[in-house]
Amino acid sequence: MGLTSAFGISRSGLSTVEKWAETTSANIANADKPGYARKSVLRTTDDMGVAAVSGIRRDADGAIDRMHRMELARMGRQDALASGTALYLGQLGAPDDPNSLSNRVADLQTAFVQLANAPEQISRQNAALTASEALARDLNAADAALDEATLTVQGRVEASVDAANLAVTKIAELNQRIVGVEPGTQQHAMLTDELNIQLDALAEIVDTRAVFDAAGRASVYTADGSPLVEDNAYELLSFEAATGSIILDGRDITPGRDGARGFSEARLAGEIELLREVFPQAQRQLDELARGLMVGFETADATVTAGVAGLFTDDGAAFDPANLTGLAGRISVNDAVRPVAGGDVWRLRDGIAAAAEGPPADGTQLSAFVSMMESQQTFDGAAGLGTSSTLAEFAAAMGADQQRVRTDAEELRETYRTSAASLEATRSSLSGVNVDDELQQLILIEQSYAANSRVITVVSEMVDTLLAAV
């Protein structure tokens, strides 16, 4: 080997070591940075022994990334369902809560049974009135809580759409920057890190799949194929609150809607499910319970005729089948039995529309009320709780059904959270920075630098010696 060749090889070695040191230092500096993937220097040596850096490799596994994003999407949907239902379920109460709606119905039945056993006792008449007012009040509160939850989730949908659009916009901007950078460089690898951070953020909101081209740009589609980002172009989502629709470039991609090319997982899908399915079903169940109370007491009251309200009213009016929606928020106790409103509590015993007070010990009408509450009633199957049950059974089933939605979502959320954490651990082991390993790399870099420097020093000394000899 000639002196010139030895000098060239050592100089190329120093240049390679410089890039190696720069990359290793960057790894150590960014070890705790979210989304940062370890970078490795790719080195080559030609037939003459000259070393060169052929590129910077970003240590990552695309398949693991895709699987991790899928679990993030699944977890996001279940988290939206769990947190959304929790907004109003507190008002319904748990089965063991004495103030739950199901227990309020049971309290009403108990109060009427006790009154039927002693119709003449004013204290028991007042207890039955109190139980009736408490049930109506709690139905109103549950309806109000559901309305408030709906408004809250609508706000969450708008926030999710804004967050998704921000991620989409950033992905498109990063695509434009990436295409102008040579692949295999440190800058290209860093831009790819930023791109993957945005893809992760988007995956929690919208169920997507990403396809990378040779330049490293990402085209992003919803799970059912609607394009969000293609090359450098992008489309933004919008939310139509009036219809509960998610629109993309004029196309309906609302999750769960027939014919819509959208997605079924991630946070936005869960929020839309709450607005389109979970909350409307809860409203139907509340309104069916209110209807059962109103119709039951109207039918069982011998003094009430068609068009006349019974114990429970729709803001003072009798039940109107055409005005069912929102009935739980309007149900109230008839003023005819409320002394504070000028009514007479004895009407609980003798009938709401009784012309005059009857014998104090006559429990005939009360027995009819008790029999009605103990008997099977017909309910709308669309409420999802069967078509025949007692008022107490329907109330209990309603509470259990709505609690089940939350508990199922919470269990699935934890399942997906565990899976996502496992994949994140695998991802970190593949692409994360181990500072101890990087420090060992620095020791090798130091040794390599010293060796190449020594060769250059020796070559320089030999040249100097030859020149001195001449």
pTM for the structure as a whole? 0.81
Q: Greater confidence, 119 or 24?
A: 119
**Helix intervals (H) in 52-121:** 62-92, 101-117
pLDDT range class, residue 406, cuts 50, 70, 90:
confident
Q: Is residue 159 part of a domain?
A: yes
Q: List pLDDT tens digits, range 13-29.
A: 555 665 556 666 666 66
Q: Both 103 and 21 in a single domain?
A: no
Q: Is residue 279 part of a domain?
A: yes
Q: Greater confidence, 435 or 121?
A: 121
| CB-CB neighbours of 316 under 10 Å | 11
Structure tokens at 356: 């005059």
Instruction: Using the predicted structure, report yes or no on whether residue 309 has a pLDDT greater than 60.
Output: yes
Q: Is residue 429 part of a domain?
A: no
Q: Both 165 and 31 in a single domain?
A: no
Q: Both 55 and 72 in a single domain?
A: no
Query: How many domains are contained in the chain?
Result: 2
Instruction: Using the predicted structure, report yes or no on whether residue 49 has a pLDDT greater than 60.
Output: no
Q: Both 28 and 70 in a single domain?
A: no
- C-alpha span between 377 and 357 (Å, rounded): 30
Q: Both 43 and 148 in a single domain?
A: no
Q: Greater confidence, 453 or 304?
A: 304
pLDDT range class, residue 313, cuts 50, 70, 90:
very high
- C-alpha span between 365 and 295 (Å, rounded): 16
- C-alpha span between 347 and 366 (Å, rounded): 10
Mean pLDDT, range 65-92, rounded to an integer:
85
- C-alpha span between 267 and 205 (Å, rounded): 5
Q: Greater confidence, 53 or 90?
A: 90
Q: Percent of the chain beyond pLDDT 90?
A: 26
Q: Both 333 and 250 in a single domain?
A: yes
- C-alpha span between 291 and 213 (Å, rounded): 59
Q: Both 43 and 112 in a single domain?
A: no
Q: Greater confidence, 454 or 398?
A: 398
**Residue 68: predicted pLDDT:** 81
β-strand partners of 57: 40
Instruction: Using the predicted structure, report yes or no on whether residue 47 has a pLDDT greater than 60.
Output: no
pLDDT range class, residue 128, cuts 50, 70, 90:
very high
Contact 81, 274 (CB under 8 A): yes
Q: Both 142 and 229 in a single domain?
A: yes
Residue 151, classified by CB atoms within 10 Å of its CB into exposed (0-12), middle (13-18) or buried (19+), is exposed
**Residue 22: predicted pLDDT:** 62
Q: Both 48 and 85 in a single domain?
A: no
Q: Is residue 373 part of a domain?
A: yes
Q: Both 82 and 41 in a single domain?
A: no
Instruction: Using the predicted structure, report yes or no on whether residue 119 has a pLDDT greater than 60.
Output: yes
Q: Both 236 and 304 in a single domain?
A: yes
Domain of 29 in residue numbering reads as 3-59+437-469
Residue 339, classified by CB atoms within 10 Å of its CB into exposed (0-12), middle (13-18) or buried (19+), is exposed
Q: Is residue 320 part of a domain?
A: yes
Q: Is residue 156 part of a domain?
A: yes
Q: Both 199 and 335 in a single domain?
A: yes
**Residue 453: predicted pLDDT:** 57
**Residue 345: predicted pLDDT:** 92
